[in-house]
């Protein structure tokens, strides 16, 4: 971390501490929450199959597996680091393992966690779990999620300890945060809108928690009220506005949004490359009616007309950038490349290329779109090791100038350095999580268990 970043972080921590402590004191009376009595893990057969299936859909819309599964880990067994500006928080084990998961949790305890961010023992949970959104989920949906999770295979696994600076590691402070930013309450449909629009709005605002990434956050990590879906940050990427501020050069239609959400790529716009890719992988399993409802809702928020018509490619003066683009990118992205002739969208149509920030273009150049086992989808190589920072900055400037008529991005070299730095941080937190996990005897025993169980194929309840 640079000195400046360290100083900023310290100042932020101090402000957070003071504000939260003030809030925490006034919230003293509500800071204590009683533990909810443990129950014997319910028998999987006690849940109706239709409820479990409904829960599977809702879990996909809520990305439960995305956060609660570590790299190469068992589904829902936790251990994935969630980076936040305040430190790293590890998603916990939500399989029905009685000692390390939620096997002893009653439906009431589970509902309190999703609605109020309080665990079974009465401890506050960090809002890295998007309970400010989940709080609006209906009783029936929460019960279906519970049925789904309680019928998964129990996995014995302990998440590594969170890495948060004092005093943010003191959970009671969150009582103050909740007082300011948690607004529980039943989700209310808008009677002026269609049933489908309302279904989409509910899914987006409650379980889908789209705003967790697409809404900007304030200094205390809470989503800015009044700026819903106006563009935010996610794991070093820019989650573009999904409302009037959308920089998409071609207006998103309901059909295009549905295709993008289901497949991660739409021919009129482009592909999900960053954190959105995991979201669309999950949505791929969701019934078409729900995706269509989400698309109907999002489409009504988008600007009525495209902010600009995609311009015709313009010649760019920087001849070295032109040469690097032709060599590194042209085989796929040039107008006469097979991929483009095959119907892949021109970069002129890309939201990333038209956005106010170069963040996603830089991230795509560095990381590409990796192959992933078991998922079909577009592939692009990453250039992190092949190109210098100056070359990445030059290509980003070239793409912006060649494919749009928008103003050049300022401070590109600094943005590339920042992106490399983010990348290093994420890699470090991932490998730290793995080291911590391999040191933890419970986790070592759990992975041994998993191997034994996989070998014998016994006790598999999913
Ligand atoms: C953006 C990441 C993220 C998503 C998405 C997410 N969670 Fe979590 N969840 C977390 C983190 C991080 C924690 C641990 C918080 C803490 O330690 O305070 C957590 C904790 C929990 C807990 C408390 C477990 C315990 O042992 O205390 C439950 C229950 C839970 N999540 C259920 C869900 C369900 C159900 C979904 C999907 C509908 C979901 N989560 C989606 C990040 C996430
Ligand atoms: C092997 C083929 C290949 C190469 C080489 C390649 N790309 Fe890509 N690129 C793709 C594919 C496939 C996609 C995703 C599908 C799409 O958007 O058409 C993509 C997407 C992108 C996007 C995002 C567009 C969107 O969806 O918003 C950008 C920006 C981009 N590439 C820039 C570059 C640059 C700059 C280079 C050279 C440094 C490069 N690509 C090299 C195949 C390639
Ligand atoms: C984990 C963070 C995260 C969540 C949750 C998330 N998104 Fe995204 N989304 C992104 C990011 C980052 C991008 C752009 C870069 C990328 O990943 O390809 C994006 C891109 C998009 C785009 C393309 C916009 C454009 O103009 O190119 C749409 C549409 C979208 N998201 C819709 C949604 C909807 C609807 C939800 C909720 C169901 C959602 N997102 C949830 C992070 C997220």
321-362 confidence digits (pLDDT tens)? 999 999 999 999 998 888 888 888 899 999 999 999 999 999
Longest alpha-carbon distance in the chain: 71
- Model pLDDT, residue 319: 83
Q: Which atom of ligand 1 is nearest to the CA of 126?
A: 18
Average pLDDT for residues 184-193, to the nearest whole number? 96
- Ligand 2, atom 26, lies closest to the CA of 270
Q: Which ligand is nearest to the CA of 291?
A: 3
> Going by CA atoms, what residue is nearest to atom 7 of ligand 3?
276
Q: What is the Å distance from ligand 3's center to 405 Cα?
A: 24
Q: What is the pLDDT of residue 459?
A: 33
Q: What residues line ligand 2, using a CB cutoff of 6 Å?
A: 265, 270-271, 273, 328-329, 331-333, 344-345, 347, 350-353, 361, 364-365, 369, 378-381, 383, 395, 399
Instruction: Please give the residue that has the higher pLDDT: either 284 or 11.
Output: 284
Sign of the four-CA dihedral 194, 200, 206, 211: negative
Pocket test for ligand 2, best of 323, 352, 363, 364 (most atoms within 8 A of CB): 364
275 C-beta closer than 6 A to ligand 3: yes
Q: What does the pLDDT read at residue 62?
A: 98
Q: For residues 274-300, give the mean pLDDT.
A: 97
* Contact in structure between 270 and 349 (CB atoms under 8 Å): yes
Tokens for 92, please give them: 């916990």
Is the pLDDT at 4 greater than 50? The verdict is no
Going by alpha carbons, the residue nearest to atom 41 of ligand 3 is: 210
87 CB-near residues (< 8 Å, 6+ apart):
162, 163, 164, 165, 168
Q: Tens of pLDDT along 212-232?
A: 999 999 999 999 999 999 999
For residue 262, is pLDDT > 70?
yes
Q: Could you tell me where the DSSP H helices lie in 172-253? A: 174-181, 195-205, 211-214
Report whether residue 70 contacts ligand 1, using a CB cutoff of 6 Å.
no
Q: Is the CB of 213 under 6 A from ligand 1?
A: no
- Rounded to the nearest angstrom, the distance between the alpha carbon of 91 and the centre of ligand 1 is 6
Q: Which residue has the tokens 């991230």?
A: 363
Q: Is residue 94 within 8 Å of 101, Cβ to Cβ?
A: yes
**Ligand with the closest atom to the CA of 400:** 2
The model's pTM is 0.90
- Reply yes or no on whether the pLDDT at 452 is more than 50: no
Whose atoms come closest to the Cα of 331: which ligand?
Answer: 2
Give tens-digit pLDDT for 108-118. Answer: 999 999 999 99
Rounded (10°) CA dihedral 256, 257, 260, 266: 30
Token look-up 């300022």 returns 410
CA 435, CA 423: separation in Å to the nearest integer? 18
Q: Is the pLDDT of residue 176 over 50?
A: yes
Handedness of CA 444, 446, 450, 451 (dihedral sign): positive
Using the mean position of ligand 3's atoms as its centre, give its distance from the Cα of residue 313 in Å: 27
Question: Higher-confidence residue: 368 or 456?
Answer: 368
DSSP class of residue 217? B
Q: What would the DSSP string read from start to end of 363-405?
A: HHHHH-B---TT-----B---TTTS-HHHHHHHHHHHHHHH--
**What is the tens place of the pLDDT at every residue in 393-429?**
999 999 999 999 999 999 999 999 999 988 776 666 6
47 within 8 A of 199, measured Cβ to Cβ: no
User: How confident is the model at residue 435, as a pLDDT?
Assistant: 59
Residue whose CA is at the smallest distance from ligand 3 atom 2: 213
pLDDT digits (tens, 9 = 90+) for 114-143: 999 999 999 999 999 999 999 999 999 999
- Cis preceding-peptide flag for 167 (omega within 30 of 0): yes
Measured in whole angstroms, how far is the alpha carbon of residue 19 from the centre of its chain?
Answer: 27
pLDDT of residue 451: 35
Contact 269, 349 (CB under 8 A): yes
- End-to-end CA, the chain: 43
With a 6 Å cutoff on the Cβ, whether 234 touches ligand 1 is no
How far apart are the C-alpha atoms of 42 and 96, rounded to whole Å? Answer: 9
| Mean pLDDT, residues 227-240 taken together | 96
Is residue 90 within a helix (H) or strand (E), and if so which, with residue range? strand 87-90
**How is residue 68 written in tokens?**
């609660």
CA–CA separation, 215 and 350 (whole Å): 20
Kindly state the percentage of the chain with pLDDT values over 90.
74
Percent of the chain with pLDDT over 70: 83
Backbone CA torsion sign across 195, 200, 201, 203: positive
Choosing from 214, 254, 283, 378 the residue with most ligand 3 atoms within 8 A of its CB, the one to mutate for a pocket test is 214
Question: How many angstroms separate the Cα of 327 from the Cα of each of 321, 322, 324?
Answer: 10, 9, 5
Instruction: Please give the pLDDT value at position 462.
Output: 33
Give the pLDDT band (50/70/90) at residue 271.
very high
Cβ 87 under 6 angstroms from ligand 1: no
Higher-confidence residue of 247 and 27: namely: 247
């Amino acid at each position: 971390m640079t000195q400046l970043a360290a100083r900023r972080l310290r100042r932020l921590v101090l402000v957070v501490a003071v504000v939260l402590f003030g809030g925490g004191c006034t919230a003293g009376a509500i800071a204590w929450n009683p533990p909810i009595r443990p129950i014997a893990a319910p028998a999987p057969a006690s849940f109706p199959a239709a409820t479990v299936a409904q829960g599977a859909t809702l879990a996909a819309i809520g990305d439960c597996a995305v956060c609660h599964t570590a790299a190469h880990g068992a589904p829902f067994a936790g251990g994935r680091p969630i980076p936040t500006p305040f430190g790293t928080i590890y998603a916990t084990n939500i399989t029905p393992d009685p000692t390390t998961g939620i096997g002893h949790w009653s439906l009431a305890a589970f509902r309190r966690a999703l609605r109020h961010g309080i665990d079974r023992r009465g401890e506050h949970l960090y809002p890295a779990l998007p309970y400010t959104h989940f709080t609006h989920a209906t009783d029936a949906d929460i019960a279906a999620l519970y049925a789904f999770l309680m019928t998964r295979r129990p996995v014995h696994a302990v998440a590594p300890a969170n890495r948060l600076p004092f005093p943010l590691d003191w959970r009671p402070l969150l009582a103050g945060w909740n007082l300011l930013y948690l607004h529980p309450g039943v989700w209310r449909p808008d009677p002026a809108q269609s049933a489908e629009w309302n279904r989409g709005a509910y899914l987006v605002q409650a379980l889908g928690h789209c705003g967790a990434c697409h809404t900007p956050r304030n200094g205390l990590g809470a989503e800015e009220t009044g700026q819903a879906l106006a563009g935010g940050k996610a794991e070093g990427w820019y989650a573009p506005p999904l409302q009037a501020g959308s920089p998409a050069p071609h207006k998103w239609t309901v059909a295009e949004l549905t295709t993008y959400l289901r497949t991660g790529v739409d021919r009129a716009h482009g592909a999900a490359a960053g954190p959105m890719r995991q979201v669309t992988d999950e949505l791929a399993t969701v019934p078409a009616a729900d995706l269509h409802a989400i698309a109907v809702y999002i489409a009504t928020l988008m600007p009525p007309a495209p902010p600009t018509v995609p311009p015709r490619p313009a010649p760019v003066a920087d001849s070295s950038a032109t040469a690097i683009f032709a060599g590194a990118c042209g085989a796929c992205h040039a107008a006469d490349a097979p991929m483009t002739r095959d119907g892949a969208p021109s970069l002129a149509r890309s939201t990333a290329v038209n956005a106010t920030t170069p963040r996603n273009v830089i991230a795509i150049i560095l990381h590409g779109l990796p192959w992933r086992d078991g998922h079909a989808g577009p592939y692009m190589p990453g250039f992190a090791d092949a190109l210098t920072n100056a070359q990445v900055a030059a290509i980003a400037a070239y793409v912006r100038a060649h494919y749009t008529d928008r103003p050049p991005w300022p401070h590109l070299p600094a943005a590339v350095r920042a992106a490399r730095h983010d990348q290093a941080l994420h890699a470090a937190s991932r490998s730290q999580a793995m080291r911590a996990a391999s040191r933890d005897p419970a986790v070592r025993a759990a992975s041994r268990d998993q191997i034994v169980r996989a070998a014998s194929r016994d006790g598999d309840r999913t």
